[in-house]
Structure 1
């Protein structure tokens, strides 16, 4: 399986992407030059400063297999969908600003029902994905011009079975997804998660060094998460590469997801190690060596 060589960027360059509530560090980015689409309803960092304390309160999310009350995989239900050029993972926090009329209509409906809708990835090249993640509104504010400011949290994954209607907003019949047991009984999933965490720490350490930040010990990234929710957390940090994130979201095998993330992080580490070596030899070229070509 081939992976792109990833790069690391500072938060302001990726401000249109979801804030990561567990890492107050440089986010991982596989494609840092993606500009924010003009219609994107994701909240920018200028507004996030007011909500950082809210977002950080969600550091203990991710129960294994989402939660004990997760819908059965055989259940099919109707769900309003919000297509966006980003990927939401279970447990991740997503700030949104709703200003399009059809989605304001959707919000008025949701506020009188269960506050849940489907976030599904879409772009001009690949179209709209079949697999998405439920976003549950955990905080909302209705603004004077009828816009909405939301804080959403990722819940169950789903697969679209059939589009029920398209107006005033998209509604689909969906089936729920959960990871299946690994086909190989010899796979040490917990060991894989530990390896991924180690690579993440190395990537963060080198990224901070290249960014001129003071070197400090990277703390516990797993926060007692089981392998499945930890794999979702890792995928949520791959900012700037929504297609890779979508591929990770669609996998139904925790071990396979962790293996793919491990390979991506290894490639990241190789890139950063080379950039760090260049910086040591040519200090005056450090800024250009750490920037993507």
Structure 2
């Protein structure tokens, strides 16, 4: 039987496939894990190798102009284009072996340990909204490669490219969610958590796993960080994740996640019913 997939809340031409959900993602709250094929799953658990970034810098022009009178809220940040989306609070393991990024690591390990992660792929190119990754643990190997464990921090928007060699450095502005007015954020977060638990329960059933009670997914998180955690579990759908990361309203983000999870739950319910009728499917 085909593995279940997320059904996005917003149909978009930019999405070339349906996102997957990850019930045990490698993040600070490992509760959700995607229905990936075994080969894809083993790949997602390995350190992300940065060899795929060799062409990423070409997305930015070499000729650029910096504004000498930049505002105080604009900062310079070294940038990693990656084929993934980092959310605030999420954990990202990386293996650094390409020469220019080893140069970056030597610089970062003697400064503030922070760099920007932006999503990049061959179809949509490089985005201008990303998330700061802070190095929380590192190991330098004898051949000058690095193993890193990073944690997502603030979101940012690139406003200007300072340079592209030996690695990308950009000026960025910080992004924060706007106040949600009269929206019941706690209520929305609770609804999203309920849908997540139901999706995990049904997906475990479809995969022949025990339908044990799901633990507290929120872990006392406020609605905004919880919405980022939910987005981080939508592995296999980086463009949908990027759309969630770019939203600047917690209520809108939670509503979109709720609709996606509700559609997915409907799909899983139908798949479960089919399995009951045709157990060998």
Determine if the TM-score, normalized by the shorter chain, exceeds 0.5: yes
**Partner of residue 236 from structure 2, selected from 233, 240, 255:** 240
Name the residue aligned to 2:165.
Answer: 167
Structure 2: give runs of 5+ residues left out of the alignment.
Answer: 1-8, 12-16, 49-70
The C-alpha deviation readout for 1:189-235, integer Å capped at 9, x for no partner, is 11000000000000000011111101100010001100000000000
- Equivalents in 1 of 2:279, 2:214: separation in Å? 25
**Partner of residue 270 from structure 2, selected from 270, 274, 277:** 274
Please give the residue correspondences for 1:126-275 in structure 2 after superposition, counting only pairs within 5 Å. Answer: 126-182=124-180, 185-275=181-271
Do the aligned residues in 1 keep the contact of 2:74 with 2:172 (CA within 8 Å)? yes
Matched, 1:45 2:45: yes
Please give the secondary structure, in 2, of the residue aligned with 1:83: strand
Do the aligned residues in 1 keep the contact of 2:31 with 2:217 (CA within 8 Å)? no
Q: 1:275 to 1:6 in 2, by over 3 A?
A: farther
Name the residue aligned to 2:110.
Answer: 112
Q: 1:130 to 1:6 in 2, by over 3 A?
A: closer
- Equivalents in 2 of 1:121, 1:166: separation in Å? 16
Matched, 1:26 2:22: no
Q: 1:145 to 1:75 in 2, by over 3 A?
A: same
- Equivalents in 2 of 1:10, 1:25: separation in Å? 2
**74-83 or 149-158: bigger deviation:** 74-83
- Equivalents in 2 of 1:241, 1:2: separation in Å? 13
Do the aligned residues in 2 keep the contact of 1:43 with 1:96 (CA within 8 Å)? no
Structure 1: give runs of 5+ residues left out of the alignment.
Answer: 12-17, 37-41, 49-72, 286-293
TM-superposed deviation, 1:44: 5.6
Do the aligned residues in 2 keep the contact of 1:197 with 1:222 (CA within 8 Å)? yes
TM-score (norm 1): 0.78
Please give the secondary structure, in 1, of the residue aligned with 2:106: helix
The C-alpha deviation readout for 1:249-288, integer Å capped at 9, x for no partner, is 0000000000000011011111111110111000001xxx
Name the residue aligned to 2:6.
Answer: none
Name the residue aligned to 2:87.
Answer: 89
Do the aligned residues in 2 keep the contact of 1:140 with 1:148 (CA within 8 Å)? yes
Do the aligned residues in 1 keep the contact of 2:22 with 2:32 (CA within 8 Å)? no
Matched, 1:2 2:10: yes
Pairwise CA RMSD: 2.5
Do the aligned residues in 2 keep the contact of 1:26 with 1:208 (CA within 8 Å)? no
